[in-house]
Protein backbone atom coordinates (compact mmCIF):
# COMPACT_ATOMS: atom_id res chain seq x y z
CA UNK A 1 0.00 0.00 0.00
CA UNK A 2 2.65 2.53 0.90
CA UNK A 3 5.90 3.60 -0.67
CA UNK A 4 8.79 5.08 1.29
CA UNK A 5 7.14 8.47 0.85
CA UNK A 6 3.85 7.39 2.43
CA UNK A 7 3.80 5.90 5.92
CA UNK A 8 0.18 6.71 6.75
CA UNK A 9 -3.12 6.03 5.04
CA UNK A 10 -6.29 8.12 5.17
CA UNK A 11 -9.41 6.68 3.51
CA UNK A 12 -12.13 9.21 2.80
CA UNK A 13 -15.74 8.08 2.37
CA UNK A 14 -18.29 9.61 0.02
CA UNK A 15 -20.05 11.10 3.04
CA UNK A 16 -16.81 12.65 4.28
CA UNK A 17 -15.87 14.23 0.94
CA UNK A 18 -19.38 15.67 0.69
CA UNK A 19 -19.28 17.09 4.23
CA UNK A 20 -15.81 18.56 3.76
CA UNK A 21 -16.65 20.03 0.35
CA UNK A 22 -19.89 21.56 1.66
CA UNK A 23 -17.85 23.16 4.46
CA UNK A 24 -15.52 24.60 1.82
CA UNK A 25 -18.54 25.91 -0.13
CA UNK A 26 -19.85 27.54 3.03
CA UNK A 27 -16.56 29.46 3.35
CA UNK A 28 -16.88 30.58 -0.27
CA UNK A 29 -20.54 31.62 -0.02
CA UNK A 30 -21.13 35.31 -0.40
CA UNK A 31 -18.45 35.71 -3.06
CA UNK A 32 -19.40 36.06 -6.72
CA UNK A 33 -17.70 33.74 -9.22
CA UNK A 34 -18.07 33.73 -13.00
CA UNK A 35 -17.50 30.00 -13.01
CA UNK A 36 -15.44 27.05 -11.80
CA UNK A 37 -12.40 25.43 -13.34
CA UNK A 38 -11.92 21.89 -12.01
CA UNK A 39 -8.49 20.28 -12.11
CA UNK A 40 -9.16 16.82 -13.47
CA UNK A 41 -9.66 14.25 -12.39
CA UNK A 42 -9.58 14.75 -8.64
CA UNK A 43 -11.21 18.17 -8.70
CA UNK A 44 -14.28 17.06 -10.66
CA UNK A 45 -16.34 15.80 -7.71
CA UNK A 46 -15.54 18.71 -5.37
CA UNK A 47 -16.16 21.18 -8.24
CA UNK A 48 -19.56 19.65 -8.93
CA UNK A 49 -20.52 19.78 -5.27
CA UNK A 50 -19.35 23.38 -4.90
CA UNK A 51 -21.20 24.33 -8.10
CA UNK A 52 -24.39 22.89 -6.63
CA UNK A 53 -23.96 24.59 -3.26
CA UNK A 54 -23.14 28.00 -4.75
CA UNK A 55 -25.51 27.69 -7.72
CA UNK A 56 -22.70 28.10 -10.26
CA UNK A 57 -23.66 26.76 -13.67
CA UNK A 58 -20.48 27.49 -15.65
CA UNK A 59 -17.86 24.75 -15.18
CA UNK A 60 -14.74 24.06 -17.23
CA UNK A 61 -11.76 21.79 -16.67
CA UNK A 62 -8.03 21.76 -16.94
CA UNK A 63 -6.47 18.34 -17.26
CA UNK A 64 -3.11 17.83 -15.59
CA UNK A 65 -1.51 14.44 -15.18
CA UNK A 66 0.93 14.04 -12.29
CA UNK A 67 0.24 10.69 -10.59
CA UNK A 68 0.54 7.08 -11.58
CA UNK A 69 -1.38 5.49 -8.70
CA UNK A 70 0.81 6.47 -5.71
CA UNK A 71 3.91 7.76 -7.48
CA UNK A 72 4.25 11.32 -8.72
CA UNK A 73 5.77 11.81 -12.14
CA UNK A 74 6.43 14.75 -14.43
CA UNK A 75 3.52 17.10 -15.10
CA UNK A 76 1.68 17.07 -18.36
CA UNK A 77 -1.16 19.40 -19.36
CA UNK A 78 -3.70 17.19 -21.13
CA UNK A 79 -6.45 19.78 -21.63
CA UNK A 80 -6.54 23.50 -21.10
CA UNK A 81 -9.49 25.70 -20.14
CA UNK A 82 -11.60 28.09 -22.26
CA UNK A 83 -9.82 31.19 -23.55
CA UNK A 84 -12.57 33.39 -22.03
CA UNK A 85 -11.17 32.55 -18.56
CA UNK A 86 -8.10 34.69 -19.29
CA UNK A 87 -5.93 35.00 -16.17
CA UNK A 88 -8.65 33.48 -13.97
CA UNK A 89 -9.94 36.68 -12.40
CA UNK A 90 -13.41 36.03 -11.01
CA UNK A 91 -13.11 32.26 -11.37
CA UNK A 92 -12.87 29.53 -8.77
CA UNK A 93 -10.14 26.92 -9.33
CA UNK A 94 -10.92 23.62 -7.57
CA UNK A 95 -8.95 20.45 -6.82
CA UNK A 96 -9.35 17.65 -4.31
CA UNK A 97 -5.84 17.90 -2.85
CA UNK A 98 -2.69 19.96 -2.93
CA UNK A 99 0.23 17.64 -2.16
CA UNK A 100 3.77 18.66 -3.12
CA UNK A 101 2.46 21.74 -4.91
CA UNK A 102 3.76 20.87 -8.38
CA UNK A 103 0.30 20.84 -10.01
CA UNK A 104 -0.76 23.89 -7.98
CA UNK A 105 2.29 25.87 -9.14
CA UNK A 106 1.70 24.99 -12.79
CA UNK A 107 -2.02 25.83 -12.75
CA UNK A 108 -1.51 28.96 -10.64
CA UNK A 109 0.94 30.27 -13.24
CA UNK A 110 -1.72 29.73 -15.91
CA UNK A 111 -4.50 31.28 -13.80
CA UNK A 112 -2.75 33.69 -11.40
CA UNK A 113 -5.92 35.60 -10.46
CA UNK A 114 -8.23 32.63 -9.89
CA UNK A 115 -9.34 31.85 -6.34
CA UNK A 116 -7.70 28.45 -5.80
CA UNK A 117 -9.24 26.01 -3.29
CA UNK A 118 -8.74 22.38 -2.40
CA UNK A 119 -10.57 20.18 0.04
CA UNK A 120 -7.39 18.69 1.52
CA UNK A 121 -3.87 20.06 1.78
CA UNK A 122 -0.45 18.78 2.74
CA UNK A 123 2.18 21.11 4.26
CA UNK A 124 4.37 21.28 1.13
CA UNK A 125 1.52 22.68 -0.95
CA UNK A 126 -0.83 24.36 1.52
CA UNK A 127 0.58 27.86 1.01
CA UNK A 128 -0.16 27.64 -2.72
CA UNK A 129 -3.94 27.58 -2.33
CA UNK A 130 -6.26 30.28 -1.05
CA UNK A 131 -8.33 27.95 1.12
CA UNK A 132 -8.73 24.31 2.13
CA UNK A 133 -10.60 22.38 4.80
CA UNK A 134 -8.32 19.69 6.21
CA UNK A 135 -4.54 19.51 6.44
CA UNK A 136 -2.94 16.08 6.50
CA UNK A 137 0.68 15.15 7.04
CA UNK A 138 3.01 15.00 4.05
CA UNK A 139 3.63 11.27 4.58
CA UNK A 140 -0.08 10.35 4.33
CA UNK A 141 -1.60 8.74 1.25
CA UNK A 142 -5.19 9.93 0.84
CA UNK A 143 -7.49 7.32 -0.64
CA UNK A 144 -10.46 9.03 -2.26
CA UNK A 145 -13.80 7.23 -2.59
CA UNK A 146 -13.74 7.35 -6.39
CA UNK A 147 -10.60 5.20 -6.29
CA UNK A 148 -12.15 2.52 -4.07
CA UNK A 149 -14.91 -0.04 -4.28
CA UNK A 150 -16.98 -1.98 -1.83
CA UNK A 151 -15.81 -5.48 -1.06
CA UNK A 152 -16.57 -8.18 1.46
CA UNK A 153 -14.46 -8.13 4.62
CA UNK A 154 -14.00 -11.33 6.59
CA UNK A 155 -15.13 -11.22 10.23
CA UNK A 156 -12.21 -10.93 12.64
CA UNK A 157 -13.09 -14.25 14.24
CA UNK A 158 -12.49 -16.06 10.95
CA UNK A 159 -8.76 -15.40 11.37
CA UNK A 160 -8.89 -17.79 14.32
CA UNK A 161 -10.84 -20.56 12.58
CA UNK A 162 -13.78 -20.16 14.99
CA UNK A 163 -16.41 -18.69 12.70
CA UNK A 164 -18.89 -21.60 13.12
CA UNK A 165 -18.52 -22.52 16.76
Q: Is 105 annotated as a binding residue?
A: no
Beta carbons of 61 and 37 less than 8 angstroms apart: yes
Active site residue 99: yes
Active site residue 131: no
Active site residue 147: no
Q: Is 15 annotated as a binding residue?
A: no
Q: Is 61 annotated as a binding residue?
A: no
Q: Which of 96, 130, 131, 139 is catalytic?
A: 96
Q: Which of 20, 99, 130, 147 is catalytic?
A: 99
CA distance 128 to 86: 20
CA distance 26 to 38: 18
Q: Which strands form 134-135's sheet, in the order they lie side by side?
A: 71-79, 59-68, 35-40, 91-98, 115-121, 134-135
Q: Which of 15, 60, 95, 130 is catalytic?
A: 95
Q: Is 21 annotated as a binding residue?
A: no
Residues forming the annotated binding site for 5-phospho-alpha-D-ribose 1-diphosphate?
41-42, 73, 95-103
Residues forming the annotated binding site for Mg(2+)?
96
- Which residues participate in catalysis according to the annotation? 95-96, 99
Amino acid sequence: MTTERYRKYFAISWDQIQRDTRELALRLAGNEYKGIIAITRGGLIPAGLIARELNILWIDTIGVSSYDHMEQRSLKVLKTFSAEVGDGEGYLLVDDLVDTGSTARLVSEMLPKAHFVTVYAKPDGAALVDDFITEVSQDTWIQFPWDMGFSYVEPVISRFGKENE
